[in-house]
Amino acid sequence: MKWLTNLFAKQKEEPTDPMKKFLIAGLGNIGAEYVNTRHNIGFKVLDRLVQQEGLSYETAKFGAVAEYKIKGRTLILLKPNTYMNLSGKAVKYWMEKENIPAENVLVVTDDLNIPFGTIRIKAKGSDGGHNGLKSIQQLLNSSDYPRFRFGISDEFKKGKQVDYVLGEWDDKEKLALPERLDKSVEAIKSFALAGLADTMSAFNGK
């Protein structure tokens, strides 16, 4: 279904309540060499949701986009094609295009300061040195937007942080990843259906 090409026509016919529309932005880098890297967990989480629900991405401005409808809510799933350092361009564009308020945005990203696979969702916060979050904060001129941080741990030797983040999962992580991705998908659905506060209570630290 080519929903993207008919989007504006649909909106004129059936106005959408902006509070029932959400932007879920999974951060990562495009290119085959980055597919299975820790830094691309945002892409991985969205891919899991798309796969489970039988959806497909459309190539659109600043990224690959899929639309997921659940119980009266519409989730715009975005994988920016801007590379990590310019993620803000894609997030800002789709927020404005779809008239989505900041509180209905959820940015999915990796975090070195959290144990592997652990979920931590927050309503706002600093960029924590993450270039994707830094770009979003700069373009939105605000750090007040929900973010979903997926722990990748910090099991790297001194001076090897970049190699670790851009490296692939080890064998133990690969075995545990599917269940962690499923849990992440549950958290995204909860964000849209139950709200931020209940989702934080149910999933943080899990």
Average pLDDT over residues 191-201: 97
Q: What is the band of 159 on the pLDDT scale with cuts at 50, 70, 90?
A: confident
The answer, yes or no, to whether residue 160 has pLDDT greater than 50, is: yes
Per-residue model confidence (pLDDT) at position 158? 84
**Measuring CA to CA, how many Å separate 79 from each of 14, 61, 68?**
26, 11, 14
Q: Does the annotation list 34 as a binding residue? A: yes
Q: Does the annotation list 57 as a binding residue? A: no
pTM over the 0.75 mark? yes
Query: Among this protein's residues, is 39 annotated catalytic?
Result: yes
- Between CA 77 and CA 29, with CA 37 as vertex, the angle to 5 degrees is 50
d(CA 144, CA 140): 9
Q: Where are the domains of the chain?
A: 18-203
Average pLDDT over residues 122-139: 94
Per-residue model confidence (pLDDT) at position 6? 53
pLDDT, tens digit (0-9, with 9 covering 90-100), for 45-101: 999 999 999 999 999 999 999 999 999 999 999 999 999 999 999 999 999 999 999
The answer, yes or no, to whether residue 146 has pLDDT greater than 60, is: yes
End-to-end CA distance of the chain: 36
d(CA 102, CA 27): 17
Place of tokens 């997030």: 91
Q: Does the annotation list 204 as a binding residue? A: no
Superfamily of domain 18-203, CATH level 4: Peptidyl-tRNA hydrolase (3.40.50.1470)
Q: Does the annotation list 83 as a binding residue? A: yes
Provide the percentage of residues in the chain whose pLDDT is more than 90.
84
State the catalytic residue, choosing from 39, 79, 89, 120.
39
